[in-house]
């Protein structure tokens, strides 16, 4: 590692590392493809980790999309081993789509990374994006693609796999060419994925459009909470509510985020649909659906909850509960401590609840009741873990914690731990 002494300026200018401040000092993950950007990140992160007394785990995704993908994974494992960094290869298994492959691969990659991070107790994954990625994203948007710019700090886009997991991109102030020069100075080699030159992909076309031009260095967007976000509340049934005046004055993204988090879904609503909801906020009472959420405007407070009618379209289906943790409908963390239970949506089963639970159910808005989780005991008894404690199965809503992360209200590793513990308390 002494050869990295010349890289001291690069190490010092890694952005956002102060966000890694968890008091329990959990491991930190590094997404390692074996390419120049991620390999540079691994070298620099290792120096930081040794100084900070933190452990690193390098995670490599084998997408199975190229005959050499296994060799690339072994290359990455070897480079991590040279630096004394624990390494794990994660494979994307199953059929691959014939269309939309880059997006599908990206979704699979983030899900695998998040699952692996959570399994080892890590809250942060370091990603090797650079200034060049910011420039390319801007060019792709000019070409008509919906390409978001990588942010310095953001929640994992995978849900529910990425709950409590955040991404940190400390090289966004660095140029790709400079990082490769650093590696060359260390006598390192790296992988050049031929997919980066495949003209079927928009990113390749964007790089070709840039040519040898360096472009204007862009500053990464900071995810900041909109005004009034603290007025959002989560009810007993996981429903989210906000003052009408807050939503009317907030950016459209707040409406979309509340819908996704209340519904437990992942596909963002279209700008046109958000505009329609915003228009209705200026009027009287209304009821509508958005991204799997039911939205009710009554008086001065707006309710967001799961649309129970989704059950007819294939969601909210009954399932056997595995022992340990699982997530029901993207909205509730379910903990099964005994075998033999099933989880179903409460809709149609409420009359079978014990009298005390039926009475407590009245405290939850009627629109939110049908999509609550109900546990079915091996004996057939129906109960709702939200309404009554049970030694066999417990449940906790995830919507508000997810919303805080999505809005940028979780600024660092330490806060992430506190937000998550509060969600489960």
Q: In this predicted model, what pLDDT tens digit does every residue of 106-141 receive, in sequence order?
A: 999 999 999 999 999 999 999 999 998 888 888 777
- Segment 404-423 mean pLDDT: 92
CA distance 375 to 383: 5
> Which is more confidently placed, 133 or 169?
169
Q: How far is CA 216 from CA 88, 133, 148, 154, 175, in A?
A: 36, 12, 17, 23, 11
How high is the pLDDT of residue 313? 61
β-strands 166-168, 153-155 pairing: antiparallel
What is the greatest pairwise CA distance in the chain?
Answer: 73
Say yes or no to pLDDT of 199 above 70.
no
Q: Are 342 and 320 in contact (CB under 8 A)?
A: yes
Domains of the chain: 2-210 (3.40.50.620), 229-310 (3.30.465), 314-399 (no CATH)
Q: Given pLDDT bands bounded at 50, 70 and 90, which one contains residue 205? A: low
Please classify residue 15 by burial: count the beta carbons closer than 10 Å to its beta carbon, then call 0-12 exposed, 13-18 middle and 19+ buried: middle
Bridge partners of 306? 293
Contact call for residues 132 and 196 (beta carbons, < 8 A): no
358 in Cβ contact with 336 (< 8 Å): no
Structure tokens that stand for 2 in this block: 């002494």
Q: Is 34 left (phi over 0), alpha (psi -120 to 50) or beta?
A: left
Q: Cα(271)–Cα(256) distance, rounded to whole angstroms?
A: 9
Inform me whether the pLDDT recorded for 32 exceeds 60.
yes
Tens of pLDDT along 246-286? 999 988 999 999 999 999 999 999 999 999 999 998 888 99
Single pTM value for the model? 0.91
pLDDT above 70 coverage of the chain, percent:
88
pLDDT for 202 equals 57
The answer to whether 302 touches 236, Cβ cutoff 8 Å, is no
pLDDT of 212 strictly over 60: no
CB 92 within 8 A of CB 33: no
Query: With 70 as the cut, is the pLDDT of residue 147 above it?
Result: no
CA distance 73 to 61: 7
Query: Number of helices (H) and strands (E), helices first, in the chain?
Result: 14, 18
Question: Does residue 245 have a pLDDT over 80?
Answer: yes
pLDDT band (50, 70, 90) for residue 68 = confident
Nearest of 306, 289, 183, 187 to residue 238 by alpha carbon: 306
Which long-range contacts link 116-119 to residues 24+ away (Cβ below 8 Å)? Answer: 116/29, 116/57, 116/59, 116/88, 116/90, 117/29, 117/59, 117/156, 117/165, 118/161, 118/163, 118/164, 118/165
Quick one: pLDDT band at residue 1, thresholds 50, 70, 90?
A: very low
Cα distance from N-terminal residue to C-terminal residue, the chain: 44
Query: Considering only 75-89, 198-212, 289-303, 362-376, which range has the smallest mean pLDDT?
Result: 198-212
The residue to which tokens 């405007």 are assigned: 297
Tell me which of 16-25, 188-197, 284-293 is least confident: 188-197
| Angle, vertex CA 231, rays to CA 230 and CA 232, nearest 5 | 90
- Reduced to 3 states (helix: H, G, I; strand: E, B; else coil), residue 68 is coil
155 vs 7: which has the higher pLDDT: 155
Q: What is the mean pLDDT of residues 305-313?
A: 77
Task: Tell me the two tokens of residue 288.
Answer: 């509508």
* Whether the predicted pLDDT of 2 surpasses 60: no
Q: Give the count of beta carbons closer than 10 Å to the beta carbon of residue 251.
A: 14
Return the residue matching tokens 């650093």: 182
CA 369 to chain centre: 27
Q: What is the pLDDT of residue 308?
A: 81
- 238 band by pLDDT with thresholds 50, 70 and 90: very high
What are the Cα distances from residue 181, in Å, to 134, 190, 211? Answer: 20, 12, 19
Cβ-Cβ contacts under 8 Å for 257 (sequence gap 6 or more): 403, 406, 407
SS (H, E, C) 279-310: HHHCCCCEEEEECCEEEEEECCEEEEEECHHH
* Cβ atoms 104, 97 nearer than 8 A: yes
Mean pLDDT of all residues belonging to the chain? 89
Element (H, E) at 90: strand 86-91
**pLDDT value at position 371?**
94
Residues 6+ apart with CB under 8 A from 403: 232, 240, 257, 258, 261
As given in the structure block, the two tokens for residue 407 are 């809005």
Which residues share a beta bridge with 86?
Answer: 57
| Residue 219: band (very low, low, confident or very high) from pLDDT cuts 50, 70, 90 | low
Place of tokens 């090797």: 128
């Amino acid at each position: 590692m002494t050869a990295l002494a010349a890289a001291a300026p690069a190490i010092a200018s890694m952005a956002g590392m102060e966000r890694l401040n968890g008091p329990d000092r959990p491991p930190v993950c590094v997404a390692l493809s074996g390419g120049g950007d991620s390999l540079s990140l691994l070298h620099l992160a290792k120096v930081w980790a040794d100084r900070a007394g933190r452990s690193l785990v390098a995670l490599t995704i084998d997408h199975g999309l190229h005959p050499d993908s296994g060799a690339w994974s072994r290359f990455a494992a070897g480079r991590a081993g040279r630096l004394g960094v624990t390494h794990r290869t994660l494979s994307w298994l199953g059929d691959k789509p014939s269309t939309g492959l880059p997006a599908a691969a990206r979704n699979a990659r983030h899900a695998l990374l998040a699952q692996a991070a959570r399994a080892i107790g890590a809250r942060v994954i370091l990603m090797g994006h650079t200034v060049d990625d910011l420039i390319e994203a801007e060019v792709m948007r000019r070409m008509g693609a919906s390409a978001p710019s990588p942010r310095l700090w953001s929640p994992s886009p995978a849900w529910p796999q990425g709950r409590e997991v955040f991404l940190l991109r400390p090289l966004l102030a660095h140029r790709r060419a400079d990082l490769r020069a650093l590696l060359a100075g260390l006598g390192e080699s790296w992988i050049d994925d031929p997919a980066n030159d495949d003209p079927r992909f928009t990113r390749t076309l964007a790089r070709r459009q840039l040519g040898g031009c360096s472009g204007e260095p862009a500053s990464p967007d900071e995810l900041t909470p909109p005004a009034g976000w603290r007025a959002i509340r989560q009810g007993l049934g996981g429903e989210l509510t906000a003052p009408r005046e807050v939503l009317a004055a907030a950016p459209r993204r707040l409406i979309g985020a509340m819908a996704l988090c209340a519904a437990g879904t992942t596909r963002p609503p279209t700008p046109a649909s958000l505009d329609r909801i915003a228009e209705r906020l200026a009027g009287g009472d209304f009821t509508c659906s958005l991204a799997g959420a039911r939205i009710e405007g009554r008086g001065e407070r707006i309710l967001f909850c799961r649309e129970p009618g989704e059950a007819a379209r294939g969601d909210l289906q009954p399932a056997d509960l595995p022992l340990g943790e699982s997530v029901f409908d993207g909205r509730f963390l379910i903990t099964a401590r005994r075998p033999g239970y099933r989880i179903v949506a409460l809709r149609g089963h409420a009359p079978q609840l014990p009298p005390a639970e039926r009475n407590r159910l009245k405290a939850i808005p009627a629109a939110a009741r049908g999509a609550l989780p109900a546990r079915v005991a091996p004996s057939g008894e129906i109960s709702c873990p939200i309404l009554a404690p049970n030694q066999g199965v417990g449940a906790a809503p995830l919507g508000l914690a997810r919303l805080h992360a999505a809005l940028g209200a979780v600024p660092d590793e330490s806060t992430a731990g506190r937000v998550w513990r509060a969600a489960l308390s």
